[in-house]
Amino acid sequence: MTDPRAVPPNPPPSGEQPTIRNLFAESPASRKPPQVVGNYRLMERIGEGGMGQVFRGEHVKLGRIVAIKLIHPELLQTPRLVKRFVREVRAAARVDHPLIVRAYDAESDGNIHYLVMEWIDGQDLKSIVARRGPLPVPEVLRIALEVALALDHLHQLGMVHRDLKPSNLIQVRTTGQVKLLDLGLARLTEHDGPVDTSQTQTMTRQGDILGTPDFMAPEQAMNAKDVDIRADLYSLGCTLYYLLTASVPFPGGNTIEKLLRQWHEPPPDLRRFRPDVPEPVAALVSQLMAKSLEHRFATPRVVVDALRSLASRPVPLAMPVEDATIPQVEPVEAVWQQQFSDWVESDSTLEEATRATKQATRPKRRSIAWLAASGMAAAALAVLVMLFLNPAPTPNPTDESANSSANAKESADALERDRWYAVIDRQHGTPEAIAAAENLRKLVSPLTLLPRNGANGPHIRIGEANRRHGGWIRGIAASADGERIVTGGWDRIVRIWNRQPWKLRETRSGHDTPIWNVAISPNGRWVAGISGFDTLFDGDVGMERSLRLWDLVEGGEREVFDNMRYGWSVSAAFTPDSKRLLVGQYDSAMLWDLEKSEPVRHFRTDGMNWCMATAVSPDGKFAFTGGGFRDHIRVWELDTGKLVRAFSKSHGPPRCLAIADDGRRLAECSDGTVRVWDWTTGTMLREFRIPNLEMNGVTWCDAGQCLAIVRADGRVVWTAADTGEVLRETQIDGVELTGVTRLGNHGQIAVSASDGGVRRFQSETGTELEPLPAQSIARQLNWLDGDRQLLLIRELGVTEFRPLLPTRAVPAALPSDWRTVAALDDGSEWLGRTNATWQLRNPFTGTVQATVEWREAGQARLATLVPNPASANQRSNGVVAYWPNPRELRYQPWKGPMQIWPMPQQEHARALAVSANGQMLAYGTDRGQVELIALAEPKPRFRVKIDREPIRKLAFTPDGQTVVVLSGNSQVYTLYVTTEAVKPIPNLEGSFDAVAISADGTRLAVGSLVGEVRIHGLLSPGRSRRWSFPSAVRSLRFSRDGAMIAVGLANGCVEIERD
């Protein structure tokens, strides 16, 4: 065989210039044999950028493997781009550093320009994150330090990279070291000779966008030719954010939208999406991504020092804080920090890189401004580290007169604040109260002085973000030994739980629409999440319908079964040996080989569609699929794909299938019924049905002797499998149970619910085991005691207080069976329920001020109190509530007869609001109607149709003259009480489900089901702000002084932001 390296480097005998135009145009499948350019043979194409393509090549004489970058042929006639290519060659030639890919050669062969670089056997970080998911903190810190050293070397040479991103960082396969590559946009900031500024401007003309928008500094987008090394530091911050979250900081949108968000929006809080990231690490990323150059690190050397300080000093751990006002500090070194420190101390290449950076050639002339900026940044870093390490010392003032003046000023401000609070509370809804709110806002709020929860996070976070799902759980499954439970829900997150000890283990994300189904392999290694038909938008249909497969051992995402390549995926089940995955799809089922990462076979027959449920027999020989319009249950031979049997009695596809350990009996849950079959004969053995009540899940217990069934009314029922006798049952109030799974042979089951919680039960007794601390959704928020405390009314009426500042009043104890239904805005009176009795209580004295006996009190919905600001004693006039059955609105004054307004035919009330002065009631229906009722008379005032979509929320402005309407059509409207006119608010659209208006009536806040809060100026409509949160927004409330806004999230957390 001829040695391929013996091919002569000369042009072909024909005398024609060598061309690679066809090589650029080829597809990988049709690529021709390697061609030769200069002294190098092109072997295979490995990448492509804006300037050209990169090939793995070989020197034809020396046999050295290299990387060769060729400029695109169609760009050869553009002098500006040729200059840019030459500039890249010049820049790369000056760089000699162990953490930067080296340049060996630069040549032109006819009209072909190419750059020869060091060949790296590795993988870029973008590909690594796509495969593994978010990286561990110590590994990210290692990468950050290596990249910072590489940037420091470039800075010493007077260079700026200008295209730093994960795909331009390659990890060496053998050493794990990360190297910086592609200096295609590098700009020399200092030169040995005179600079031709006209040529520089030609290469970076105004209007050119050089760089990658997802990782580009704001100033680079505006003027790429004048950026300095701080632009690279911003890109480094975006890159670290991506490595820690597997997401770019500002996802979605086109190029212009991305650039605008980089310029205007504050960087997202890293710890909202990755709570385990330590606070100092989040602070470092936040400072790298600072919008202002003055607030960003000045040089890479300062970043290197900051990273080394993390390795050498103990710092606070990231941990959930139950009391948001008391910081918790771990006195010993954290695990992540120890791992990072060990690497810094042991890596010899790091010392080589540091020495190479210090030896870099740099002009002696140094800018005094640069030195000042670097010194200031270093000093700021030192202060930051000291704050992390040491609590603030006890003040020891030396100037008593100055201290007395400060105390006097503080006391005067406090008295003035209390005076305005009193006006707001006593004259709520009056012009005087609105003026008082305006005056309050002019004073400095003590709430704004509270320390932030994280470097760039909310001022205060209440609760743990990962304790529960943000909304309904739709899928639940367990490993064969029952030690790992996996759940997926409407928040698009897959959570993996430990059975013992009972706690959250880890999370996985990546789905664009809510998760409908989950599966876990018997050995606990593989987890599958399947996105379903629902989204968070109350009836809209999600179109992702894909399956994502994660490897819990090696980490990262293994496969994505998207609907374009494999069709819609709707269910999944693993084989007993954990080597294959059965995927239920729209019109078939697919068997997937996990080791080979390829499909084995498909199962398909006439009339088969929507395989909503799948199962595999214990011996691994048979597959079960449920779905279709007839013969809903089908049995297949797993190894041949042969259809064995088909049978059904239900009117809809099964929601779930469960096979007993004997491998013969199959339990089916569909159309509100549980059926048990002998699948070998197709005979139905037993049927469990309750009219008009949905059965949502079934599993086998006690070695196949009984079935555990979960129902929509919150009840878990254990029945004998052979007789159908109810053995025991357990009720969970206020939730719908959505799924159930057996936990191995431990005699336990795990149950999922509509509140996002997961509960475990002992099958033998029906008792709940080790319940996780409650953290249900805060459906109402109220500021109390002059904004010193926050009241949280959670689901099921659970009441929680959060003191944020030193309090003046402590709430009294409530009866054990008390469930809070509603509260006045100032929290001075609460409405609660004990059995069939509704009571009005003063929360601070505990006295009962009024009682209402309603026989069907537990069936009431949408209850709210009617304010009475004119009264100094009893602050409310009565209560308004809606009864779904018999569809009527009731107003019960504390003094006087009850008023009843029946709903129009086939309409239900969906939202209630009462004006601050207690004069007007507004309610919205599921048919898009809004009606206003004058409570003083009382009689209906007028009725308007907003849209055909349901009304989600209503809110009055403080003066009672305007109603803000959130419609199901994603539009926000203003309804004017005096004129009955309805107008949409421009530029305010989204799936909003929460609303609040500031006490001075100037600002409107709306929160969406996709985790967005927008602040809109009511008096200046052009003014708008927005925040992003990791979960759907379910409640909002401005503080009385307007300085802060509390946001209740679907994951049970409450976050407080400064407006």
Q: What is the 3-state secondary structure (H, E, C) of 399-425?
A: CHHHHHHHHHHHHHHHHHHHHHHHHHH
Cα(608)–Cα(626) distance, rounded to whole angstroms?
A: 9
**In this structure, which long-range contacts are made by residues 3-10, counting pairs with CB atoms below 8 Å and at least 24 apart in sequence?**
4/34, 4/41, 4/58, 5/41, 5/58, 5/59, 5/60, 5/61, 5/63, 6/60, 7/36, 7/41, 7/60, 8/60, 9/36, 9/38, 9/39, 9/60, 9/61
What is the structure's pLDDT at 149? 92
Cα(1031)–Cα(930) distance, rounded to whole angstroms?
A: 29
Cα(902)–Cα(881) distance, rounded to whole angstroms?
A: 12
Query: What does the pLDDT look like over 238-264, one tens digit per residue?
Result: 999 999 988 888 887 677 767 777 777
212 or 944: which leads in pLDDT:
944
Selection from 158-162, 681-685, 732-736 with the highest mean pLDDT: 681-685
Q: State phi, psi for 90 to the nearest 5 degrees.
A: -65, -40
Residue closest to 27 by CA, chosen among 45, 43, 41: 45
Beta strands 888-893 and 589-593 are unpaired
Cα(741)–Cα(15) distance, rounded to whole angstroms?
A: 75
754 or 304: which leads in pLDDT:
304
What is the structure's pLDDT at 585? 86
Q: What is the average pLDDT across 266-288?
A: 86
Q: What is the average pLDDT across 660-671?
A: 90
Instruction: Please say if the pLDDT value at position 924 is more than 90.
Output: yes
Identified catalytic residue from 109, 124, 152, 163? 163
The answer to whether 1039 and 438 are in contact (CB under 8 A) is no
Q: Which two tokens stand for residue 950?
A: 């349901």
Cα(1034)–Cα(777) distance, rounded to whole angstroms?
A: 8
Query: What does the pLDDT look like over 42-52, one tens digit per residue?
Result: 888 887 766 67
Task: Please tell me the least confidently modeled range out of 156-160, 380-384, 468-472, 593-597.
Answer: 380-384
Instruction: Please say if the pLDDT value at position 420 is more than 80.
Output: yes
Determine the length of the chain.
Answer: 1059
Query: What does the pLDDT look like over 351-379, one tens digit per residue?
Result: 556 555 555 444 333 332 332 333 333 33
What SS3 state is found at 363? coil
The mean pLDDT value of the chain amounts to: 77
Q: What is the average pLDDT across 448-475?
A: 71
List of domains in the chain: 4-118 (3.30.200.20), 123-190+206-359+369-388 (1.10.510.10), 473-685 (2.130.10.10)
Q: Which two tokens stand for residue 548?
A: 């994502």
Distances (CA, A) of 574 to 506, 524, 583, 693, 888: 21, 11, 9, 31, 50
Q: Which amino acid does the sequence have at 671?
A: D
Inter-axis angle of helices 300-312 and 279-288, to 10 degrees? 180
Task: Please tell me the least confidently modeled range out of 14-18, 40-44, 322-326, 872-876.
Answer: 322-326
Q: Which amino acid does the sequence have at 818?
A: W
Residue 485: pLDDT band (50, 70, 90) is: very high
Other residues' Cβ atoms within 10 Å of the Cβ of residue 644: 16
Going 637 to 638 to 642 to 645, the CA torsion angle's sign is positive
Which residue has 């019960």 as its token pair? 892
Q: Which amino acid does the sequence have at 286?
A: S
What is the structure's pLDDT at 436? 84
574-612 b/e (C-beta count within 10 Å ≥ 16 → b): bbbebbbbbbbbebbbbbbebeeeeeeeebeeeebbbbb
Q: What is the average pLDDT across 829-847?
A: 82
Cα(502)–Cα(728) distance, rounded to whole angstroms?
A: 24
Residue 446: pLDDT band (50, 70, 90) is: confident
Cα(195)–Cα(190) distance, rounded to whole angstroms?
A: 9
Other residues' Cβ atoms within 10 Å of the Cβ of residue 202: 14
Degrees to nearest 5, angle at CA 748 with 744 and 754: 110
Task: Please tell me the least confidently modeled range out of 347-356, 761-770, 860-869, 946-955.
Answer: 347-356
Residue closest to 120 by CA, chosen among 145, 92, 100, 139: 100
According to the annotation, is 69 in a ligand binding site? yes
Residue closest to 917 by CA, chosen among 877, 963, 889, 884: 877
Active site residue 214: no
